[in-house]
Structure 1
């Protein structure tokens, strides 16, 4: 889902591929690659825990992206100056793109029901 939000259907299968993927699709953001990976992993873990222990299923795969954005925004508050602004801007861009994709998916789903 994160790859789709960033405009690619390529998904890394290991850590080395992840960093290669980041350099290809997110140039000039090297200092945030590990933080982004941690945010996505933490978001997946939180969703898994809610499903396992609270029996609450994900409403949408986009939930992972939005939860990762929440983590990135929180962690941005721990940074100063330009780093804080860059990370917060990146999280906001990711969230806005995910919202647009959600609307597209909802529209195509409704149109598919009408046919």
Structure 2
């Protein structure tokens, strides 16, 4: 799952623990130190929700990028709790992550058979 988050951010590095996560964010998302914990909470919360859906509702995860995309929803919602520049920065970051996740989902999608669509 964390490799997927790295792909969305444009890196092939993957964090193995919480301290590496913060070092990773500091390296690849400079200047957003006050939002790193929000991002971690949103990702962990969505991973937990996906785990519960799989265990209790027997629903399979369509794509790991869905976790990142859903976590962006939490970030957008939580941005409403902030004021001024912090709110704008968090909304902008959430939008950037959502767009990157969508682009990665498109690139990783199975190619269509162009002969059948004609």
Query: TM-score, normalising length from structure 1?
Result: 0.91
Q: Deviations over 1:68-115 (max 9, x none)?
A: 101101100111111111001100000001111111112xx3179x9x
Q: Which one of 84, 96, 104 corresponds to residue 101 of structure 1?
A: 104
Alignment match, 2:33:
30
Mapping 1:12-91, distance limit 5 Å: 12-91=15-94
Provide the C-alpha distance between the structure 1 equivalents of 2:55 and 2:45, rounded to a whole number of angstroms: 15
Matched residue SS, 2:111: helix
Root-mean-square deviation over aligned CA pairs? 1.5
* Stretches of 4+ aligned residues off by more than 4 angstroms: none
Where is the helix percentage greater, Structure 1 or Structure 2? Answer: 1
Alignment gaps of 5+ in structure 1: none
1:21 offset after TM fit, Å?
A: 0.4
Aligned residue pair count: 111
Query: TM-score, normalising length from structure 2?
Result: 0.89
